Chains A and B, each alone.
Chain A
Amino acid sequence: MHETSIVNSIMRTLEQEFEAEKLNKMKAIHLKVGILSNIEPRLLYNAYSAYHLTYPRYQHVELHVESTSLKIQCDVCDHITDVKQYRFICEKCERPSKNVIQGEEMLIHKVEFED
C-alpha cells in the first residue's frame, strides 16, 4: 500500500512538471531508488500495473527501476565506504558518519518521450 501512494506521487509529480501535450508522448519513466528508501522494486512494478486499471492513460508507458547500494563519505578523511550491515562507519579511519552519498535516493531519474 506504501508503493501505491509512491506511484500516485510519481504520476502527480510528472503531471505538474510536464505539459499535457508532452505527457501524451511519454514513453518511459526511469526511477532510481536507494536501498534505504524502503521501496521494493517488485512491489512498485505491481503498484504501477494496478494504477493503470484506474488511470489507463499511461498504460503504454514503461517503468524502469534501478536500485542503488548504500555509500557514505567520511566527513573527516573523505573516504567513500560501501556500507555493509548498516554500520555507518568509515572503513578507513573508523569514524562514524551520517553523510550518505548514495542509497537514500527516491528519484525520477529520467523520462523518455516519443519525438
Chain B
Amino acid sequence: MIEKSTKAARGTVQCENTNINLLKANDFVAGIIKKEMAKTGTLLINITSSAGSGKTTLMQKTAQKLKDKITMAVMVGDLETERDADRIRETGIQALQIVTGGICHLEAQMIHQVLDQFDLENIDLLFIENVGNLVCPSSFDLGEDYRVTLMATTEGDDKPKKYPKMFLTSDMMLVSKADLLPYVPFSVEAVTKDAREVNHELEVIQVSALSDEGIDTWCDWLLEKIQLKKNH
C-alpha cells in the first residue's frame, strides 16, 4: 500500500488560481443593463472619441433629424458641468448629465443607477455620450448594442494605431468634421486603412454635422438597427 499525505505543510503558502476578470463587477452590471434594454427593445449606443471631436454636435444633429420619427434620449458623461446636456436639451429631447467628478470614463454602474430616470418603454434609441477619451472608455462595457467612435479630421489620421483597443472594440467609425477636409492634412483613406488593420469589420461613414454630409447615411444606419432591435 502506498501511503501518502496530501496535507499542506504548515507555514507554507497556499495558492488559488483564480483568473477573475478585473472588471468582473463592471461586466456583471453591463449584463443587467443589456437585459433591461432587451425588455423594452431600446437600442443602446455608446459614443466614444477624443475630447472635442464633435460628439455633442452630432447628438444635436441626430436629434433634429430623427425626433419626428423616433423617440431618442441621451445620457452624457463629463468630468464636470452640465453644458453638454443643456446643448442637447435645446433640441427638445431628454438629456441627462452624468458628472463623473474627475473619473475619465463611464462605468456600467453609473449608467445603471440613472436608468430609472428614463421612460425606457417609450424610448427607441438611447445614446451614451462617453467621456472624451480614447483610452479608458474602451475597457468598460456599458451593456451597449453598438460602440461608435468619432474620429475628427482635425485630430490627425494616425489615431487608430495609437489607440487600437478603442477601434478594435468599436462597430462603427464616424469620420467627423468632414467639411474641414479641404483645409487639414487628413486622409480618410489612410485612417480607414489603419482602422481596418486593427478591426476589419469596422464600418466607416464620413460625416459633417455642420454641412449635413453623411448624416442621412448615419441616421438610416440607426433606424435600421432600431428596427433590428425591436424585431429581436
Interface flags, B124-142, vs A, CB<8A=1, else 0: 0000000000011011000
Task: Indicate if the CB atoms of B136 and A38 lie closer than 8 Å.
Answer: yes
Given contacts A1-B104, A86-B164, contact A112 B14 (CB under 8 A): yes
Interface band, chain B: 35 or more
Task: Indicate if the CB atoms of A13 and B24 lie closer than 8 Å.
Answer: yes
- The minimal Cβ–Cβ distance linking B154 to chain A, given in whole angstroms, is 22
Interface status of A17 (Cβ within 8 A of chain B): yes
Interface status of B83 (Cβ within 8 A of chain A): no
Interface flags, A72-115, vs B, CB<8A=1, else 0: 00000000000001111100000011101000101111111111
Q: Please report whether the interface of chain A is mostly helix, strand, loop or mixed according to DSSP.
A: mixed
Task: Indicate if the CB atoms of A38 and B135 lie closer than 8 Å.
Answer: yes
Q: Please report whether the interface of chain B is mostly helix, strand, loop or mixed according to DSSP.
A: mixed
Partner of B25, one of A13, A96, A100: A13
Partner of A27, one of B13, B20, B102: B13
Interface status of B157 (Cβ within 8 A of chain A): no
Given contacts A2-B136, A106-B21, A108-B22, contact A85 B199 (CB under 8 A): no
Residues of A within 8 A of B (CB): 1-2, 5-6, 9-10, 12-13, 16-17, 27, 31, 33, 36-38, 85-89, 96-98, 100, 104, 106-115
Residues of B within 8 A of A (CB): 8-26, 102-105, 107, 135-136, 138-139, 160-161, 164-165, 168, 196-201
